[in-house]
Structure 1
Amino acid sequence: MEKSDITHVEIANDASLSGHPGDGQVKLMRDGEVVLIPTPTSDPRDPLTRSVWSKWVFLVIVSAWSCTAVVLASGMGSIFTSILASYPGQEARANDLMTYPTLFMGIGNLIAMPFAFTCGRRPVFLVSMVLLVVAGIWCQCSTSLGSHIAGRNIMSLAAGQSEALSPMVIQEIFFLHERGRKVGWFIFIQNIAAGVFFVVSTYMVSSWGWRWWYGFFNIMNAVIGIFAFLFLFESKFDRTEEAMRGEPVLNSKIAEHQAVVEEVEEPTPRSWKNDLKPFSTKPTLREIPTFYKQLLQGFCIPTILWLLLLNGAHLGVYIFQAATFAGILTAPPFGFSFESLGYVQAGQLVDCLVFLPLLAYGSDLVIKHLTARNDGLYKPEYRLPVIIIPVIVGVICSVFYGQAAAHPERYSPAAIIIGYNASYFAFLGANIVGITYAVDSFPLRAAPFLVVICAGRGFISFGLSYATLPAIKTVGYDWTMVIEVIICGVLALMAIPVYVFGPRLRVWAGAWSGGSEATK
């Protein structure tokens, strides 16, 4: 069995080096070496001690699932004009095919994540894959607009878990110092693949019709589901508060710690038969009320509420542009062909090529530098500076998008294309900051607080995107976009007081919410 990537790194063994319980402030570096957080154990079920290759297979499967979920739920923009042609006289209602999925993705998080929290991640993932395929077949075979909308809503319930469950399981199988770049690889793989599908979607629909667009992804999801059943291990693992701070689990002496590390490097062989079990942990359904209690507490914590609003605002701008760019570019004076719309969304490939080194690896480099300057003490606020560039780019380009949409005769189509893809880049920035900052700030509340962000932003973006057509008719594309980017800009500027007062808020929130028990 291949060794896990935990060699040559030292485990902290002095409890005095860590921060307050559950507040995310921990000793990440000691004597120039990175501390493993959470502390790995000798338990063969510990996902942190899995081999490198199995972790990468896990990450690729989760990324592939998220890719198809994103494309099916929110990637219809480039083929929407073709679908509209199937429902003459029902154009206004047909917009529900674009707007309702974000709402139901949020609802899906609220329903499924408590079961992932109490019954394990693997069974929820497998059920979601089955439901995604069944709902996709429903959409493919729908005989009316109402049936099509209903099928997409059910499909979005299954797709929604990819938003909160995926980053949660990734942070469970990787250490704190790896999370930024590993979440970055997850988003990179997800969106590179999605960008390719956006390009080919118009050709698929032109050749096969939009029903077989669903058919293609139904087949792909079935294949992903098979690989998931075979290789997706259970990442739910109970850890103590001390382990989440990087403190020793078994002993407190350095010599004893070294023995633990050596034992973890050569773990007891795992049984593939046990990995195939749908339930690898004993369900604790009685804890579902606790999950919802913690979720409600998340709405009352200023930093989590801010992350929710920031993500929701940027997602709303992106959904707004995703729902309108095709109609703008195919109309005079631009006159784009239907097939060329896929290449517009191919700009997201460029987003990912910039995103991975800048926001993923850049995030880990920033926290390593700031942590070293802070005598090795890591603060989750060190994740915040990476949001500066994507927000500035997104706000400026979105303003040009609104102007070009309102006055196309004055602008090049590049204003629409660049503005649309820049808004997606800004959302990626808000997304990775929201995920990593929430998980690092409240490691004992990662699951419910991720649901607050992912489900809540779905509701916010649904409200913003559902108001798209009325807003355009009332104030036009230009002022609608100005209003939305002002909201995004103000929320982004709030990162400054969060950076300053975040540590105090985390200590207060940890004490108030009682975040000192073992994580699930």
Structure 2
Amino acid sequence: MPLGILDDNKLEHVPGTAPLSELNRTDLEVDAGVDRGLLKHDPTGKIVLVPQPSDSPNDPYNWPRWKKEMFTVVIGYGCGCVGAVGPLLTPAFVPLAQQFGVTLQRFTLGCNGSLIAAIAAGSLFCNTLAVKFGKRPVYLATTLGLAITCFWAAEVNSFGSLVGARTIQGFCMAPFEALIPASVSDTWHVHERGLRMSIFNLGVLGGINLAGPIAGSIIQKGSFRIAMHGMGGAFVLMLLLVIFFMPETAFVRHGAINIDTSDKKVQVEPMDKEEVIQIEKAPAASTGNTMSSEAKVSFMRELLPWNGYLDHVSFWRTFIRPFFLILSPIVMWATLLFTVCISWLVFISITLSQIFSAPPYNFSVSSVGATNLSSFVASLIATLISGYIIDGVATFMAKRNNGIFEPEFRLPVMITYLIFTATGFFAWGQSLYKQDPWPIPVIVCMGLINLGVQFGTTCVVTYVSDCHREQSAEAFAIMNFIKNMFTFGLTFYSNDWLAVQGVRNTFFVIGGTTAAVTLFTIPMYIWGKRARSWVFRHRVIDRVLKSE
């Protein structure tokens, strides 16, 4: 029973469990029963690389450090732009609804509701394309689409045209929500993912939070058209960065040792996918740290929109696979937590104008937008520490567990989400009800909420990546689909809910729901390893993907 996690006796090895630290041991065997000479380590020689890279110089796990870091920088910038374009107009919802001659609820539904619904559909469709053809062509096409739709939205003359632009825009946003965690898993090892996942989350949440202050001032002093043109320019820059610094990460590994996703303690990825070669021990020279004789792909070839990657499973089987992945208790739990983490932030963003444009605050459009600054600062602070804390806690617990890493070691950090976010929602509702001075709800309450959300989302996406590395794209596709469909539903009644129930009752319900849902982390921690075993043994997902 590793540190409170119920063990499993159905499999020799439960996928996700892996030797992470050898604790400076000098004997020849690590506790997982793997010959130490087989395994590749980090530069310190103390941490086993999980997953184990192949010998190919083209394997993303073997990329130079600068290339990986640049890839991550582009992810942060790209996700920031995508996070910003969604709520770009929210500070001006009230005056824009009047400008287009529609009710506030209808404007919210058309401007943001259509975008959110399109993200949900795009998550599934773009995931299917990425699994079949690789992620790079999807990123390139949708980034170009984002730039075009921003310029379109800047020049609309009718509400219907704006809704059309926002719908296509939402579809193009989907890959940067659904595929990025899988790209991080394609590039970084387990002990390095926490920080990079937090950068991904900072991009999304930072974009959401910075869009308001910047766009609010631009809209008030100019117009929403200028803000949309500026956003289009940001996506043009993003397109250039994607072209030059986001090569394909989909890679078929041959001959790499599998110590985390198999039901055996150690397994070698076969040259022929129809047969599986299992080993208990082998000469260290067979899988040494030297690179293979395979030629390194040139930089110019990496710039091609498509590198020829192709998965031969049928399109429709790939499309429905995420719906079967929801049968995994891990994905089911993560979807519930991820939906709660993000959806309430969207709820706040679409009601900010309603709350602060009215008495007693009477904020201008730019002032409404500026309320998000504290959220950005909180997200930034959380990013600087959450990745290190999540990776550090997991590594520390692995050492306490005789060097064996369990994905559930990520979950204790969820206590920060429970404390900060639930407290923030209750305090937000109470302070607005009492009409406290604006620094209390804006700085204190929103700061607490965003601090907790950054910890929570980073923990959730990292845990899913560790448990379902080979199906991470599908896992995040279904998580984003359900999250966005729930958020889409919120746009139908969010403004009316706040008007009818009042701000205190509304956010007390949200705070209570958040606390109750987060408590499901306790059984997930205890039974998570058995859940991973159950998913592997029943092989529901594999049956869906059998070739026709």
The 1-side partners of 2:389 and 2:410 are apart by: 10
Aligned residue identity for 1:454: N
Out of 443, 446, 452, the position equivalent to 1:420 is 446
Give the C-alpha shift of residue 249 in structure 1: 4.5
With over 3 angstroms needed to count, the CA separation of the structure-2 counterparts of 1:337 and 1:194, relative to structure 1, is: same
1:245 counterpart = 2:237? no
The 1-side partners of 2:355 and 2:330 are apart by: 37
Give the C-alpha shift of residue 507 in structure 1: 0.3
Residue aligning to 2:200: 186
Deviations along 1:81-123, one digit per CA (max 9) or x if unpaired, are: 4423422343331112133322221111011111101100100
The 2-side partners of 1:376 and 1:41 are apart by: 23
Q: Secondary structure at the match of 2:402?
A: coil
The 2-side partners of 1:21 and 1:136 are apart by: 49
1:342 counterpart = 2:369? yes
The 2-side partners of 1:305 and 1:440 are apart by: 15
Give the C-alpha shift of residue 447 in structure 1: 1.3
Q: Secondary structure at the match of 1:284?
A: coil
Deviations along 1:322-370, one digit per CA (max 9) or x if unpaired, are: 1112232232212323322332111123222321243211000000010
With over 3 angstroms needed to count, the CA separation of the structure-2 counterparts of 1:114 and 1:141, relative to structure 1, is: same
With over 3 angstroms needed to count, the CA separation of the structure-2 counterparts of 1:189 and 1:470, relative to structure 1, is: closer
Residue aligning to 2:40: none
Aligned residue identity for 1:275: E
The 1-side partners of 2:349 and 2:166 are apart by: 17
> Contact between 2:197 and 2:387, CA under 8 Å: does it hold in 1?
yes
Residue aligning to 2:86: 73
The 2-side partners of 1:123 and 1:237 are apart by: 14
What does 1:281-320 align with in structure 2 at a 5 Å threshold? 281-284=308-311, 286-320=313-347
Out of 100, 110, 116, the position equivalent to 2:114 is 100
With over 3 angstroms needed to count, the CA separation of the structure-2 counterparts of 1:309 and 1:20, relative to structure 1, is: farther
Residue aligning to 1:24: 16
Residue aligning to 2:219: 205
The 2-side partners of 1:79 and 1:20 are apart by: 58
Give the C-alpha shift of residue 235 in structure 1: 0.1
Give unmatched runs, 5+ long, in structure 2: 1-10, 25-45, 270-278
- TM-score relative to the length of structure 2: 0.84
The 1-side partners of 2:218 and 2:202 are apart by: 24
> Contact between 2:383 and 2:454, CA under 8 Å: does it hold in 1?
no
With over 3 angstroms needed to count, the CA separation of the structure-2 counterparts of 1:349 and 1:38, relative to structure 1, is: same
Aligned residue identity for 2:54: T
1:461 counterpart = 2:487? yes
Aligned residue identity for 2:290: E
Q: Name the % identity.
A: 20
The 1-side partners of 2:312 and 2:87 are apart by: 32
The 2-side partners of 1:180 and 1:267 are apart by: 31
What does 1:100-499 align with in structure 2 at a 5 Å threshold? 100-189=114-203, 191-192=205-206, 195-239=209-253, 242-243=257-258, 245=260, 247=266, 249=268, 253=282, 255-256=284-285, 260-263=288-291, 268-284=295-311, 286-408=313-435, 412-499=438-525
| Structure with greater proportional helix content | 1
Give the C-alpha shift of residue 151 in structure 1: 1.0
> Contact between 2:194 and 2:391, CA under 8 Å: does it hold in 1?
yes
Q: Which moved more, 1:435-444 or 1:499-508?
A: 435-444
Q: Which moved more, 1:350-359 or 1:162-171?
A: 350-359
> Contact between 2:407 and 2:463, CA under 8 Å: does it hold in 1?
yes
Q: Secondary structure at the match of 1:336?
A: coil
Residue aligning to 1:10: none
> Contact between 1:168 and 1:446, CA under 8 Å: does it hold in 2?
yes
Q: Secondary structure at the match of 2:502?
A: helix
The 1-side partners of 2:207 and 2:321 are apart by: 35
Residue aligning to 1:6: none
Residue aligning to 1:49: 62
Out of 36, 50, 58, the position equivalent to 1:37 is 50
Deviations along 1:26-73, one digit per CA (max 9) or x if unpaired, are: 111224321111111222321111111111111111222211111111
The 2-side partners of 1:436 and 1:226 are apart by: 28
Runs of 4+ in 1 over 4 A off after TM superposition: 19-22, 189-197, 246-254, 410-413, 514-518
Aligned residue identity for 1:29: S
Aligned residue identity for 1:477: V
The 2-side partners of 1:457 and 1:267 are apart by: 42
The 1-side partners of 2:207 and 2:348 are apart by: 21
- TM-score relative to the length of structure 1: 0.88
Give the C-alpha shift of residue 248 in structure 1: 7.1
Give unmatched runs, 5+ long, in structure 1: 1-18
> Contact between 1:77 and 1:322, CA under 8 Å: does it hold in 2?
yes
Give the C-alpha shift of residue 284 in structure 1: 2.6
Q: Secondary structure at the match of 1:105?
A: helix
Q: Which moved more, 1:85-94 or 1:393-402?
A: 85-94
> Contact between 1:102 and 1:461, CA under 8 Å: does it hold in 2?
yes
Aligned residue identity for 2:285: E
With over 3 angstroms needed to count, the CA separation of the structure-2 counterparts of 1:98 and 1:20, relative to structure 1, is: farther
Aligned residue identity for 2:502: G
Deviations along 1:108-144, one digit per CA (max 9) or x if unpaired, are: 1011111101100100000111111122122111111
Q: Which moved more, 1:234-243 or 1:367-376?
A: 234-243
Aligned residue identity for 2:374: G
Deviations along 1:490-514, one digit per CA (max 9) or x if unpaired, are: 1101100110011111100111125
* RMSD after superposition: 2.7
Deviations along 1:283-338, one digit per CA (max 9) or x if unpaired, are: 23534334344312222222211211111123222111111122322322123233
Q: Secondary structure at the match of 1:328?
A: helix
> Contact between 1:182 and 1:360, CA under 8 Å: does it hold in 2?
yes
Aligned residue identity for 2:20: L
Aligned residue identity for 2:113: T
What does 1:508-519 align with in structure 2 at a 5 Å threshold? 508-513=534-539
The 2-side partners of 1:164 and 1:407 are apart by: 39
> Contact between 2:216 and 2:370, CA under 8 Å: does it hold in 1?
no
Q: Secondary structure at the match of 1:270?
A: coil
The 2-side partners of 1:375 and 1:405 are apart by: 50
Q: Which moved more, 1:351-360 or 1:205-214?
A: 351-360
> Contact between 1:314 and 1:423, CA under 8 Å: does it hold in 2?
no
Q: Which moved more, 1:68-77 or 1:116-125?
A: 68-77
